[in-house]
Amino acid sequence: MSNLHTTEHTEQHGGSTKEIWNVTIILSVLTIVELALGFWMMKITSDSTRFGFKGIIVILMLVKAFYIVAYFMHLKHEIKNMIMTIVVPLALFIWFIIAFLYDGNSYKNLRNNYDSFKKSQSEIKVEKKEAAHGESHKTAE
Amino acid sequence: MATTTVAVNQKMWGGGKSPFNIEYGKVMMWYFLMSDAFTFGAFLISYGTIRFSSNGWPDPNEVFQSFPGLGSGLPLMFVSLMTFILIVSSVTMVLAVHAGHNMDKNGVVKNLILTIVFGAAFLGCQAWEWTHLHHEGAWWGANPFLNADGTASSTNFTNYFFTITGFHGFHVLSGVVINIVMLIMTLTDTFEKRGHYLMIEKAGLYWHFVDLVWVFVFTCFYLI
């Protein structure tokens, strides 16, 4: 117990109330910008422009994640060993995301090239069903 | 020589000095959260892979466009409310942790209650949304929505939506329960007697992680 006590007192308490409010404002502004981009994106029909918007939204998402982890979860104020032991393993995600999304996309292209039946099936437009409750939706199976 | 013998017998790190300069329980909480991040990451990457491998996908603005009491045709509105509720709850949790540093029991109690209320509000919103989607015919294995280009959609969309938001919602529920336990322990002066509020910090780490996951879920399902 005494050991625990000394540990607690040597910890760095970097976060002040002012910092908390600053981060709150930053997070709110980032969310509002994300939502504004989301509303703006609804009016855009060009696929490449939409893709660009989505890219910006993902970058904003990562900035928000950084602020939550660094300040709310206090990681920025820990010593470097602690930061490294958390952040370095998470770097695996960079590879995960690139590899899996690339693979998904490649699967789509291969299937569209070599399975013309599947491709033609996926191009048939369906009439929009009006909100009938329950059973009618299961016919799709 | 005596110290050398001790070092030889001691195969594992035996304490005395905290290597990361933070308390053991907090280190373990961080490692748990890291493993949880991989779980959520795997879910979201799986979702992304399937979405990238599909020729069409439903438009979230058509699927999520209802607001309780205001009807439909309001894309993004309800999820914005949910996002802000969770951000505010995260702020009150930071304030509770901050009050704990200063041994301010009343501050901890006040902010914990606010966090619990906002957490419960978020769960209520999610319950409403799930009920609403279920009434529209969406569930695991049933997808009434069409792809954005008007073609027939597979059930992948609803399967992923309900699985991932469900898993996140279950985390929020656990977080609310943990916070209630923390509140009871604070009210019964457990932490005052212990001399520190480190337990609140661990609960806080978990709660912020739940908020962090929502940032990703919100972006992946509702925005893009």
Q: Which residues does chain A have within 8 Å of residue B150's beta carbon, measured at their own beta carbons? A: 125-126, 128
Residue A72 contacts B, CB cutoff 8 Å: yes
Give me the pLDDT at residue B221, please. 94
C-beta atoms of B87 and A27 within 8 A: yes
Residue B7 covered by a domain: no
Say how many CA atoms lie within 13 Å of B197 toward its Cβ.
Answer: 29
Give me the pLDDT at residue B104, please. 93
Distances B101 to A6, B95, B104 between C-alpha atoms, Å: 14, 10, 8
CATH number of residue B214's parent domain? 1.20.120.80
Tell me which amino acid residue B185 is. Answer: M
Q: Chain B interface, mutation test: which of A32, A122, A124, A139, most B Cβ atoms within 10 Å?
A: A122
- Mean of per-residue pLDDT scores for chain B: 91
C-beta atoms of B205 and A73 within 8 A: yes
* Burial of A36: CB neighbours in 10 Å, binned 0-12, 13-18, 19+: exposed
Give me the pLDDT at residue A139, please. 42
Give me the pLDDT at residue A3, please. 46
Residue B202 covered by a domain: yes
Structure tokens at B38: 């991989």
Residue A82 contacts B, CB cutoff 8 Å: yes
Containing structural domain, residue B65? 21-223
Confidence of residue B157 (pLDDT cuts 50, 70, 90): very high
Residue B196 covered by a domain: yes
Q: Reduced to 3 states, what is the DSSP secondary structure of residue B151?
A: strand
Residue B12 covered by a domain: no
Q: Chain B interface, mutation test: which of A5, A8, A26, most B Cβ atoms within 10 Å?
A: A8
Using CA of residue B52, residue B171, residue B24, residue A62, what is the dihedral sign?
positive
Distances B78 to A1, A130, A139, B144 between C-alpha atoms, Å: 47, 22, 30, 20
Give me the pLDDT at residue B12, please. 73
Q: pLDDT of B115-149, one tens digit each?
A: 999 999 999 999 999 999 999 999 999 999 999 88
Are the beta carbons of A79 and B20 closer than 8 angstroms?
yes
Rounded to an integer, the average pLDDT of B217-222 is 94
Listed in sequence order, the residues at least 6 apart from B202 whose beta carbon sits closer than 8 Å to its beta carbon are: B25, B26, B29
C-beta atoms of B48 and A93 within 8 A: no
Give me the pLDDT at residue A118, please. 85
Residue B205 covered by a domain: yes
ipTM of the complex: 0.87
Looking up tokens 């957490």 gives B119
Distances A40 to B75, B82, B146, B149 between C-alpha atoms, Å: 12, 20, 22, 19
Listed in sequence order, the residues at least 6 apart from B224 whose beta carbon sits closer than 8 Å to its beta carbon are: A54, A57, A58
Distances B202 to A126, A140, B26, B28, B34 between C-alpha atoms, Å: 51, 47, 6, 9, 14
- pLDDT string in tens for chain A (141-residue length): 444 444 444 455 556 888 999 999 999 999 999 999 999 998 888 889 999 999 999 999 999 999 999 999 989 888 898 999 999 999 999 999 999 999 999 999 999 999 988 888 888 888 765 544 444 444 443
Give the span between the Cα atoms of A9 and B125, in whole angstroms. Answer: 40
Give the span between the Cα atoms of B63 and B74, in whole angstroms. Answer: 10
Q: Which residues does chain A have within 8 Å of residue B76's beta carbon, measured at their own beta carbons? A: 35, 38-39
Give the span between the Cα atoms of A131 and B136, in whole angstroms. Answer: 6
Listed in sequence order, the residues at least 6 apart from B5 whose beta carbon sits closer than 8 Å to its beta carbon are: none
Q: pLDDT of B48-99, one tens digit each?
A: 999 999 999 999 988 998 999 888 888 889 999 999 999 999 999 999 999 9
Residue B16 covered by a domain: no
Give the span between the Cα atoms of B49 and B36, in whole angstroms. Answer: 20
Give the span between the Cα atoms of B90 and B87, in whole angstroms. Answer: 5
Give me the pLDDT at residue A13, please. 55
Rounded to an integer, the average pLDDT of B174-181 is 97
Opening angle at CA B35, ends B29 and B37, nearest 5: 100
| Nearest CB partner across the interface for B152, out of A38, A57, A124 | A124
C-beta atoms of A126 and B150 within 8 A: yes
Give me the pLDDT at residue A135, please. 44
Say how many CA atoms lie within 13 Å of B128 toward its Cβ.
Answer: 17
| Tally of domains in chain B | 1
Residue B89 covered by a domain: yes
Size of chain A in residues: 141
Other beta carbons less than 10 A from residue B28's beta carbon: 11
Residue A96 contacts B, CB cutoff 8 Å: yes
Give me the pLDDT at residue B18, please. 74
C-beta atoms of B51 and A104 within 8 A: yes
Are the beta carbons of A18 and A71 closer than 8 angstroms?
no
Q: Chain A interface, mutation test: which of B219, B220, B221, B222, most A Cβ atoms within 10 Å?
A: B219
Give the gap in angstroms from C-alpha A89 to the nearest C-alpha of chain B. 8
Structure tokens at B77: 């509105």
C-beta atoms of A105 and B205 within 8 A: no
C-beta atoms of A35 and B76 within 8 A: yes
Residue B14 covered by a domain: no
Q: Chain B interface, mutation test: which of A5, A7, A23, most B Cβ atoms within 10 Å?
A: A7
